[in-house]
Amino acid sequence: MKTTDFLSVRDVSGEEIREIFHLAADMKADRKKYAEALKGKALAMIFEKPSLRTRTTFDIGIQQLGGFSLYLSPAEIRLGQRESVHDVAKNLERMVEGIMIRTFSHQVVLDMAKYASIPVINGLTDYSHPCQAMADFFTVQEIYGDVRGRKLAYVGDGNNVAHSLMFAGARLGAHVTIACPSGFEPNATAFEQARMDAEETGAVIEVVNDPVEGVQGADAVYTDVWASMGQEAEADARKAAFRPFQVNAALMAHAKPGAVFMHCLPAHRGEEVTDEVIDAPYSVVFQEAENRLHVQKAIMYLLMK
């Protein structure tokens, strides 16, 4: 990759994304082939938000590549409080070969990359979730052979996941529709950036306020929790606004025959998705979760080798 960090899907070109997918597929098929690819190299993992998939996949991933990880909890770091982002970055660059950070403010990740001379990977911010979107479209590619021209309908909050899905779809020539209640649309700048990128690839990026319209003709229907971490105080109000956007069997019936269901997890069953959908044969949520491991291994390898 031309970039030295992975902070957003927009950091890489469509060609580079496909190269990452090719490498991820090879790593998934033959784990032992890359068992010493990052031998002896260390990844610092900074967490200011709890995690199951991000922690497990980065931790296991670096080990499967021959390296090792160091988990740094909120209590140990407290970025900007106990120690500045600048000082944390300058310390870690002398001790490890890469940094993965999962935090709230996207600016923190940008600053970490600015000050650290080693690769920085965005494990999630309130603005974007690039590793998730990469795993999502890798999963779509596994299912359909290619993502170009395929439609992914995201139903729910125009949040960090929605932003990264738009960015990835635009880079890859896919059709991404965000269906959300009025007032919960994606960030306007993120939407315009995705639309701009889409002009170069023939992708279609759109936002609608009707879930049925959104999923029409979709190859994949995707949703996320209605209240993300840090939005707990808004949970009740959000439930009222998002209830018509629940992904259930009736909504899935409007998608293309054979469409798959996707979710970045964790899922609040009975809220954004029903059991009959998330547990259906067409649900690929655990395939997605596994693919976080393979895609992130490819990203770590390309940045840290």
The per-residue pLDDT for range 132-168, each reduced to its tens digit, is: 999 999 999 999 999 999 999 999 999 999 999 999 9
Q: Is residue 118 part of a domain?
A: yes
Residues 71 and 149 in one domain: no
* CATH number reported for the structural domain that contains residue 23 in this entry: 3.40.50.1370
pLDDT of 229: 67
Residues 221 and 78 in one domain: no
Residues 98 and 188 in one domain: no
Q: Is residue 1 part of a domain?
A: no
Residues 136 and 284 in one domain: yes
Residues 207 and 217 in one domain: yes
| Number of domains present in the structure of the chain | 2
Q: Is residue 167 part of a domain?
A: yes
Whose tokens are 């002009």? That residue is 199
Residues with catalytic function: 102, 129, 132, 224, 264, 292
Residues 148 and 89 in one domain: no
Domain limits for position 174: 132-288
Residues 24 and 165 in one domain: no
Q: Is residue 2 part of a domain?
A: no
pLDDT of 160: 97
Write out residues in the chain with pLDDT < 70, as ranges.
Answer: 229-230
Residues 80 and 181 in one domain: no
Residues 163 and 222 in one domain: yes
pLDDT of 119: 98
Residues 168 and 268 in one domain: yes
CB 276 within 8 A of CB 252: no
Q: Is residue 113 part of a domain?
A: yes
Residues 247 and 295 in one domain: no
